[in-house]
Chain A
Amino acid sequence: MKPRSFSSRYIFLLLAAILWIFAGFGCGGAAPAATEAPAATEAPAATEAPAATEAPVPTDEVSATRAPVITVLPAIKESRRLTLEFPPQMRAGDSDLIRLTLEVDDLGNITPTAETGGNVIAGETIEIPNLYETHHVIAEARFDMAGVEISPPDLSSQTLAQGQSVTFYWSIRPGETGVYRGTVWLYLRFVDKQNGQESRKAVSAQLVEIEAVNLLGLSANFARATGVIGSVVGTVIGFPFFDDILKFLVKRRKKRGQ
């Protein structure tokens, strides 16, 4: 029994060692290929347009005779900033505004450059077609929040022009106290000016949490009304000169009446 168990263990160790040796060869064989690649593309880098979409491992003959096909999609050449403004806490029964602005970021600086093999940056600018010239760009926004009155409740759309900002407003009114959670969605819809083909892309989804509160169970309207009435009553009762003024006015009326 013992010799059999030893022999199977030796066979297993032998197989493991063979596999390990093959794996070592495999890894070692791949490494030189990666380091050789830059040498093959060094020559065409100086003379040809850089390849933006192709893998940069062509042979010398191919890269010298054939220009690489560059398929660049039209793009928006501006950086933008999305600003969401909302009240994290508000009075139950009152209404408030939520504002979403998509504005141009003046600090955004975009210079698309191409990269050749071997991580050498050629520094050539790729001419990207302006998306505003080829497509109608429409910004769409929606605010979802359960248990709260929202106006407008549906999707709002505005045309996005180059260099201009768009702003969306929602009016919200929580009827009862509690914590409400919702999402502000922003989409971009692209309509091709030539064939009318539409495509849509979600740009942002921001979670919003709004807490509706009241004061000791009093609604906002009741608190305001009580405040106004209480202020008048407290002023009349608390300040003695108001009492004197009232007495003076009553006496004057009585004198006029006589």
Chain B
Amino acid sequence: MRKKSKIQWYFLIIVLIIYLALLLINFSAFLTSIMFFIDILKKIIPSFLLVFLLLFIIDYFIDPLSVTRHFKEKSIRKWIYALISGTIASGPPYLWYPLLQDLNKKGVSYGIIACFLYCRSIKLPYLPLLIFYFGFKYTVILSVIMIIASVIQGIIIDKIIKQEEI
């Protein structure tokens, strides 16, 4: 995790070096880019605050780990739990792989795992930013389609890969 956060800082430093080079080579282009950056930043701040608030609310009230315990429930309920936990799960996907591997060993199907991973792409706390750029109607349609797609993908994977195969 520390390594990853260092990489993020290296990334920022590289970008700043690019800007420094731009400042020296073409001041007008530098100014245009900086103005563009300030414009994005000003517009994005309210959405960013809302993202923080939602991150906090979800972390405080919901525990995704406790939801994953229901992955072995019967019929439609396990899909609903996979959808809920996928949507509220935070952090990069590779952090979840060991837990999912463990759940798979305990009998959770590959389809449910695929559904969980696909649903992770719908990030409730980040939705204000998606609404900011693309509007409420687009965000709702995309989220609903992705929820349906995550279940369909899970069902397909369950048909292709049987539990004992891997």
Q: Do A and B bind each other?
A: no
Residues of B within 8 A of A (CB): none
Residues of A within 8 A of B (CB): none
